[in-house]
Amino acid sequence: MSKVLVIYYSRSGNTEKMAKAVVEGAKSNQNVAVDLSYHVEAEELGSYDAIIVGTPTYRTQMPIEIKNLFEEASAKQINLKNKIGSAFGSYGWSGEAPQAVIEILKKFEMQVIEPPIRAKYNPDQKTLEACLELGKAVAQKLSP
């Protein structure tokens, strides 16, 4: 069975709401197993078929936890080539982080779904539906 990872960081819960909607969408497909996680080891990334990253923007950056995860994966030469990847996240005014994550995923030669879904502060219903659809679309790509 194909495996989807939704890995996210969220300090005030906005990106977390988006992450839960992505998971709900992916889980609606019985052919994939879905994990929602706040922290994984770099080595674990290799065991997933799709990696969807939830990242808020703080001080124009992605959280250090997300940055470190992919730096470590790179240093350890974890092979993510051709895995499906995407990003989403809440922001306040500039919102650079999700696109910055997308660029990292591309360096790993992942099959990237873009543009990333972004929510200004608290995600509204429309944005949560887009997150749900992202989860469904990823699961669909992995289904036999």
Ligand X SMILES: Cc1cc2nc3c(=O)[nH]c(=O)nc-3n(C[C@H](O)[C@H](O)[C@H](O)COP(=O)(O)O)c2cc1C
Please identify which residue in the block is written with the tokens 């539906």: 129
C-beta of 81 vs 93, nearer to ligand X: 93
Q: Binding ligand X by CB under 6 A: which of 47, 121, 129, 143?
A: 121
Using the rule CB under 6 A, is 86 a contact of ligand X?
A: no
Residues 6+ apart with CB under 8 A from 116: 86, 87, 88, 89, 98, 99, 101, 102
118 contacts 131 by C-beta, under 8 angstroms: no
Q: Binding ligand X by CB under 6 A: which of 25, 95, 98, 135?
A: 95
Q: x/- contact string, 32-71, with ligand X (CB under 6 A)?
A: ------------------------xxxxx-----------
37 contacts 5 by C-beta, under 8 angstroms: yes
- Identify how many contiguous H helices and E strands the chain contains and give both numbers: 5, 6
Using the rule CB under 6 A, is 2 a contact of ligand X?
A: no
C-beta of 83 vs 118, nearer to ligand X: 118
Tell me the CB-side half-sphere exposure of residue 70, using CA atoms within 13 A. Answer: 24
CB of 60 to ligand X, least distance (A): 4
Contact region for ligand X (CB under 6 A) — 31-39, 73-81, 89-97, 132-140?
89-97
